Amino acid sequence: MPDVDIQVRVNGTLRRDTVPPRLTLADYLRERCQLTGTHLGCEHGVCGACTVLLDGQAVRACLVFAVQADGAQVTTIEGIASPDGELSPVQAAFRDHHGLQCGFCTPGFVISVTAFLRDHPDPTDEQIREGLSGNLCRCTGYQGILKAVRAAADGTSAMEETG
Amino acid sequence: MDRTRGPVDPVRAAAARYAGARVARVEDPRLLTGHGTFVDDVVRPGMLHACFVRSPLARARITGIDVSEALAVEGVHAVFTAEDLNPGVHEPWYSLAGRDVPDSPRPPLAEDEVRFVGDPVALVVAADRYLAEDAAELVVVDYEPLPPVVDYVTARESAELVFPQFARNVLGELGGRPTTELAPVFDQAPWSVRETVYQQAYAPVPIETRGLVAEWSAAGGELTIWAATQSPHEVRLFCSRLLGLPEHRIRVVMRDTGGGFGQKAVVQREDMCVMLAALKVPAALKWIEDRRENLLAAGQSRHEHGDVRMAFDADGRILAASIDYVQDVGAYPVPWPVGPSMAVGMFFPGPYRVPEGTFSITSVFSNTVGRTAYRGPWQFESVARELMLDVAARRMGMDPVELRRRNLLRRDELPYTNPVGVPYGDISPLETFEQALGMLDYEAFRKEQERARGEGRFLGVGTCTYVEPTTAGMGVHGTEGATIRIEPSGKVNVYVSGGSTGNSLETTVVQLTADALGVDIADVHTIQGDTAITPFGGGTGGSRSGSMTAGAVAETAAVLRERIAAIAAHRLEAAAEDIELVDGHARVRGVPGAGLSLAEIAAIAYLQPESLPPGMPAGLEASGRYRAESMIILANATHLCTCEVDVTTGRVTLLRYIVSEDCGPMINPSVVEGQIAGGTVQGIGGALYEHLAYDADGNPVTGTFMDYLLPTAAEVPIIEYGHVETPGPGPGGYKGVGEGGAIGAPPAVINAVADALAPFGVHITRLPLTPESIVTLVRRARESRAAEPGTVPR
Ligand code: FES
Ligand code: FES
């Protein structure tokens, strides 16, 4: 199949590319855009490590082809903090509540939670657990992540740090 | 403490500001913003991509390989088979096991026989990964199927052999005194219990799969490797032996590794292939495992069973305990699994008063994926013992808590040597046990359980108390190095082998160094995971990183403190003994205001060497190597959980989960709790969900995350932590804490389920406790006790 021309706005910047139809959005972002914060943990749609926002919706970039993003806006983990490096409330809450260890699953969680809290600004604990159940983490036992999402939802992310 | 290795350090830093505090992690900003550097993020000029052709059969003879069609694909650079790569192997042995152990074969690519589904047969190298995968499909391998040895339990009786040189499919046997010697004790004891407990295969399953990039520069004779690893120096050392390349010509780099849990502790066969192939291709070669391969070929753990016996006196005091343990090592275990399995026998008596005991250990091959290390590889000692204690308590009509209280070692009995010769000291098993029970309010739970049973709801409580070997002080794990550079501006860089694999080692090192030098944490930075830069290190494994690195930092910083004090004393015309380091200054004790900042001292050391005291070396840089002061540091903990079991659906809901842990003083409580939580949830997964399963023909049936079920946020309980603090015999009194969660959780969960199902007389000896297995257990128990109406709930 011949390559396809696409136009995608990635983290606010418009890009034009010519891509093979079978190139996944995840590989497009990682290899063509050099945005390697989008991680691949399974490539079959279960772990959530590759989650990005496609026109605002959280999607698994391993299950979407780059050509399907033609004309769309994509936000990756690199587009979540403010340009001066200040962490978003969700990112800050993960930091404050030990919501990450190896950090491999983290970009997917941050993106999923960002979309989840936008859609559920006042979630119950049950809704949070449900909302997180599409992302796998092997390091944290989800304890710090659950706390972080609660704190981000409540708008409290005071540093626990001493010193 | 051993004072013979050097003078007592006279210069003290001020009281610790950071050790013991919930310091925010220095790793987080890059990882939270997508700026970590994992191995798949590494891109090199002209980089090529590798994909393996793997065996679809559990056992077969390879009768031919045709690579011509694959080689014809545009963009394909090479297709390697065993005859291309395997002759390049020099001396492939692991530092931990040593050169001389009777290890099993580990050919990079399968030679004439494939031995499990997933066995690598050929390696395709192409311009990108899509092309490499396409071409791999075109490699034609002719197989002549052979009958596989699928079930390790019966493998010793099989007429078929996984390796012809290993009779009865046995890789190795170890043992204490013969079990028969204890037979009279078991036979004559008032209470004697015996069960065979089976644990299913499950696996570390880091969310980042394995992978590496290897780049050979033929002109310079240098090999650079970017790896997903727990041990960059072991990768370098192994690679040097494998390829016969001098160690100093190899550089291994790892910035971020996405979890390892044992699976990334040592070089595996695929890594060997990429190292060998890198010498034969014109550019860097990248291999990133996909999830299917990871579940197929990255290794299994935990697959084992034990014939367990325990004898008790009339009051429930343990008289003897023995285990005959058999582990499945698959076809290609990594590393040699025989020596490490000794820990199952050594720790089977656990933190209990066991007058007599023994064990035997047998490692058996099968035509399945090889055994790999996994967080608490000896964990079965706790599974077997703690299940048995509950079985015994039920049989004696005694509360399992009461049974344990009678047998747990008390502090006043320490030091104590367990019946197989392991010395215990600095542990607190009874304290963690009582603390956990107190946090639950055990009596109240028993009443609630009683009420619930009246309503036809089945609640249960289970515990596990264990003593855990951490920070082994021998061999390649016996030392750890650090280099600290106070730069000319007074800012500090600290170098350790380390690398980020999720265990927060960057933060730990920064905390400890800031305290040791009395400087602000923001003035300390750490560089890790690059063998060209950092001192040699034994890697992450065996719950050693925290305690060993603490030793390395302490030893190195002491040297610098002395030099700082000498420079300050010279400049301030004070005695060096009166200098203390606090808030980034060297001050004269008791003389307010008199002091020099570290920046001023560093400026003298580097920029005004003529102002140094006579004989003082210029610069402020030191390297030190800490040598472990004891063979082992013991940690201990109690896991306690409560659950509700729906006997209709078999669903287990965990209600409360309590871990009371004694890891000595904590360097960072958030990190300690994070390690406990991660291990605990892996253990919960192992007890309830995870099963790396094979069918009867040796075909894996759990090749995706749809079949291999990891716990998610929807299932996990909230973990409550209790801490008991008994300093260990090393620097700071720190003990290891990385593995324990994965040891204590499965027995606690299994015992809780068994307790919930006790009214049915259910007997649990096979894992995991999936809904299906629970429903079956309940149904069978109902059927078998149908003859005694009224004894079983309906
Ligand atoms: S990599 Fe996309 S869901 Fe796992
Ligand atoms: S932090 Fe390692 S997988 Fe989640």
Let me know if domain A4-79 sits in CATH 3.10.20.30: yes
Which residue is listed with tokens 């997508």?
B34
The per-residue pLDDT for B763 is: 87
Contact B713 A145 (CB under 8 A): yes
CA of B547 to the centre of ligand 1 (A): 36
- Joined together, the tokens standing for residue B96 give 């931990």
Contact at CB, A95 and B24, closer than 8 angstroms:
yes
Cα separation of B565 and B560, whole Å?
8
Q: Which secondary-structure segment (H or E) carries B577?
A: none
CA distance B652 to B713: 15
Q: What pLDDT, on a 0 to 100 scale, did the predictor assign at position B235?
A: 98
ipTM given for this complex: 0.96
Q: Which residues contact B698 (CB under 8 A, 6 or more apart)?
A: B57, B58, B59, B116, B117, B148, B150, B367, B368
pLDDT recorded at residue B287:
98
pLDDT computed for residue A160 by the predictor: 40
Is omega for the bond preceding B609 within 30 degrees of 0, making it cis?
no
CATH class of the domain defined by B28-36+474-627:
alpha beta
Cross-chain Cβ contact B40/A80 below 8 Å: no
| Angstrom distance (rounded) from CA B154 to CA B152 | 5
A contact test, residue of B18, B31, B129, B721 with most A CBs within 10 A: B31
* Residue B183, CA atoms < 13 Å, CB-side half-sphere: 4
- pLDDT tens digits along B157-206: 999 999 999 999 999 999 988 888 999 999 999 999 999 999 999 999 99
pLDDT recorded at residue B788: 62
Q: What is the amino acid identity at position B496?
A: V
- For residue A157, is pLDDT > 80? no
Long-range contacts: B781-787, Cβ < 8 Å, 24+? B781/B757, B785/B760, B785/B761
Residues of B in contact with A85 (CB under 8 A): 29, 33
What contacts B732, CB < 8 A, 6 or more positions away? B19, B547, B550, B554, B664, B665, B667
Cβ density class B563-601: b for 16+ within 10 Å, e for less: bbbbbbbbbbebebebbbbbebbbbbeeeeebbbebbbb
Nearest by CB to B207, which of A22, A49, A130? A49
Check: CB of residue B509 under 8 Å from CB of residue B494. Answer: yes
Question: Which of A50, A52, A59, A104 to mutate for ligand 1's pocket (most ligand atoms within 8 Å of CB)?
Answer: A50
Cα of A109 vs centre of ligand 2, distance in Å, is 10
Is-same-fold flag (B28-36+474-627; B379-471+634-784)?
A: yes
For ligand 2, residues with CB inside 6 Å are A 100-106, 137-140; B 207, 258-259, 502
Q: What is the DSSP letter of B496?
A: E
pLDDT, tens digit, 9 for 90 and up, residues B24-53: 999 999 999 999 999 999 999 999 999 999
The reported pTM is: 0.96
pLDDT of A162 strictly over 50: no
Half-sphere exposure at residue B399, Cβ-oriented, CA atoms within 13 angstroms: 10
Which tokens hold the place of B763? 């007997």
* Confidence at residue B13, expressed as pLDDT on a 0 to 100 scale: 67
**DSSP type of residue B393:** H
Q: What are phi and psi of B721, to 5 degrees?
A: -110, 135
CA B52 to CA A95: how far, in whole Å? 38
Annotated domain spans of chain A: 4-79, 89-157
Mutate to test the pocket of ligand 2, among A104, A110, A135, A146 (most ligand atoms within 8 A of CB): A104
Q: What are phi and psi of B318, to 5 degrees?
A: -65, 130
Distance from the Cα of B745 to chain A's closest Cα (Å) equals: 12
SS3 B709: coil
The nearest alpha carbon in chain B to A79 belongs to B33
C-alpha neighbours within 13 Å on the C-beta side of residue B340: 26
Ligand at shortest distance from the CA of A40? 1
Q: Residue A78: list chain B partners with CB under 8 A.
A: 33-35
**If you classify domain B39-146+209-257+264-297 with CATH, what class do you get?**
alpha beta
Structure-token pair, residue B777? 């257990």
Which of these, B352, B385, B376, lies nearest to B750 by C-alpha position?
B385
By C-alpha distance, the chain B residue nearest A48 is B207
Residue contact B21–A162, C-beta within 8 A: yes
Q: Is the pLDDT of residue A130 over 70?
A: yes
d(CA B716, CA A144): 12
Q: What is the pLDDT of residues B205-220, one digit of tens each?
A: 999 999 999 999 999 9
Q: What's the CA gap between B254 and B208, in Å, rounded?
A: 13
Inter-chain touch B712–A146, beta carbons under 8 Å: no
The encoded tokens of residue B467 equal 């003593």
* Cβ–Cβ gap A144/B682 under 8 Å: no
CATH architecture of structural domain A89-157: Orthogonal Bundle (1.10)
User: Which residues in chain B are contacts of A39 at CB distance < 8 A?
Assistant: 38, 40, 207-208, 258
Please give the interface size between A and B, counted as residue pairs whose CB atoms are below 8 Å apart: 200
CA B768/CA B774 separation, integer angstroms: 9
Pocket test for ligand 2, best of A97, A139, A142, A143 (most atoms within 8 A of CB): A139
C-alpha of residue B90 to centroid of ligand 1, in Å: 38
Q: Give the one of B38, B261, B680 whose C-beta lies nearest to A141's C-beta.
A: B680
User: DSSP strand E in B331-369: where?
Assistant: 356-365
Across chain B, which has 794 residues, the per-10-residue mean pLDDT values are 41 79 96 98 98 98 98 97 98 94 96 98 97 98 98 98 98 90 95 98 98 96 97 97 98 97 97 98 98 98 98 98 98 96 97 97 98 97 98 97 98 97 97 98 98 97 97 92 98 95 96 96 97 95 91 96 96 93 92 90 97 95 95 96 97 98 96 97 98 98 97 97 96 93 98 97 94 96 73 52
Domain B379-471+634-784 fold: Aldehyde Oxidoreductase; domain 4 (3.30.365)
Round to whole Å and give the CA distance between B650 and B646: 5
Chain-chain contact of B671 with A98 (C-beta, under 8 angstroms):
yes
CB contact under 8 A, A95 and B25: yes
Report pLDDT for A108.
98
